[in-house]
């Protein structure tokens, strides 16, 4: 299943609200077969500017702008399709960490949120508030999992 999102961007013209852009997203990375990452929007400051900001180039690991945000669409295929084999007692091969506060919504499918000491199964409709922790996503089902994530630049507290 290949799903590329449609993005509608609103704006103002002559003091009236309008649709400035309505298109299938072209800012899509498919470097790994079945893994679709589309960085839909970003802001470079907070509070955010309502002026037009171009999407930033896709990267496997997001590079959230300082004091900014990052809006990301991700379709994660099953681990088997990616050739991922998690060995018992070893960290998940896709374990990573970002200095961001992430709001993640599972739109469809299911996926495991894997942390250093535990994991939990997430299903459609579940929401994760991810606070800069080490984590990985493990899709052990036979279907892709689609998630939306808003990443906010954060300061790590010691």
Q: Whole-prediction pTM value?
A: 0.85
125 within a domain of the structure (yes/no): yes
5 within a domain of the structure (yes/no): no
User: Does 124 have pLDDT greater than 90?
Assistant: yes
Assign 49 a pLDDT band (cuts: 50, 70, 90): confident
Q: What is the CATH number of the domain that holds 95?
A: 2.60.120.10
Most confident of 24-33, 76-85, 86-95, 110-119: 110-119
Q: What DSSP line would sit under the chain, residue for residue?
A: -----EEEEEEEETTEEEEEEEEE---EE-SSTT-EEEEEEEESSSSPP-S--PPPPP-SS--PPTT-EEEEEEEE--HHHHT--PPTTS--TT-B--SEEEEEEEEESEEEEE-SS-EEEEETT-EEEEES--BEEE--SSS-EEEEEEEEE-----
2 within a domain of the structure (yes/no): no
Residue 91: which domain range?
27-153
Least confident of 6-15, 38-47, 81-90, 115-124: 81-90
Percent of the chain with pLDDT over 90: 45
User: Does 2 have pLDDT greater than 60?
Assistant: no
Measured in whole angstroms, the distance separating CA 45 from the mean position of its chain's CA atoms is 19
15 within a domain of the structure (yes/no): no
142 within a domain of the structure (yes/no): yes
127-149 residue pLDDT tens? 999 998 999 999 999 999 999 99
Q: Which two tokens stand for residue 120?
A: 């939990």
For residue 120, the model assigns a pLDDT of 97
């Amino acid at each position: 299943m290949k799903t590329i999102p449609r993005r509608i961007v609103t704006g103002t013209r002559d003091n009236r609200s309008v649709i400035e852009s309505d298109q299938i997203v072209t800012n899509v990375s498919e470097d790994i077969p079945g893994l679709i990452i589309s960085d839909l929007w970003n802001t470079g400051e907070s509070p955010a500017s309502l002026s037009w900001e171009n999407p930033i180039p896709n990267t496997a690991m997001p590079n959230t702008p300082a004091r900014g945000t990052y809006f990301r669409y991700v379709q994660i295929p099953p681990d088997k399709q990616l050739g991922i084999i998690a060995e018992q007692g070893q960290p998940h091969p896709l374990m990573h960490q970002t200095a961001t506060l992430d709001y993640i919504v599972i739109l469809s499918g299911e996926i495991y949120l894997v942390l250093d000491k535990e994991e939990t199964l997430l299903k459609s409709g579940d929401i994760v508030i991810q606070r800069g922790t080490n984590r990985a996503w493990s899709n052990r089902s036979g279907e892709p999992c689609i998630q939306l994530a808003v990443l906010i630049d954060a300061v790590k507290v010691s």
